[in-house]
Amino acid sequence: MTKLTLGSHPFLLGFDQLERLVERTAKSGNEGYPPYNIEQSSETTFRITLAVAGFREEDLSITLEDRQLVIRGRQGDEADDRVFLHRGIAARQFQRSFVLADGVEVGEARLENGLLHVDLNQARPESVVQTININRG
């Protein structure tokens, strides 16, 4: 018995890239830190907001790697001579990944009040109708 995968199904020609995309999304396995929201502002605009309290702009990096938006944070210990009686504020590095669909572009990124906002814009696909001629053979 042969197992059919999404990319090998006879009615889904050329969707092997979609199968790889689903696998990559499943492997990203993001933890719960930092917490984030995804908002839809309009039909074609979205905003990802991450709670990054304690991170400065220079502690954060945003990259787009093969349709995958990667947000990284890394804090350096500035004063190692401090003695904590209680340490409840996490000062750890993180990486959050979001897989973007074709046509989604990253707009502005802004850090305000401990929240990192990343705006996304999705281009509307053009409706294309193509007539295929039948050759006599």
Please write the tens of the pLDDT for every residue from 24-58. 655 555 568 899 999 999 989 999 999 998 899 99
Number of domains in the chain: 2
Considering the domain boundaries, does residue 82 fall inside one?
no
Percentage with pLDDT > 70 across the chain:
72
d(CA 20, CA 6): 10
Residue 24: the pLDDT is: 63
Considering the domain boundaries, does residue 132 fall inside one?
no
Could you tell me the residue range of the domain that residue 117 belongs to?
32-77+90-124
Contact predicate 52/78, CB 8 Å: no
Number of H helices, E strands in the chain: 1, 7
Does residue 47 sit in the same domain as residue 1?
A: no
Type of residue at 5: T
Considering the domain boundaries, does residue 62 fall inside one?
yes
d(CA 60, CA 6): 36
Contact predicate 48/37, CB 8 Å: yes
Does residue 26 sit in the same domain as residue 50?
A: no
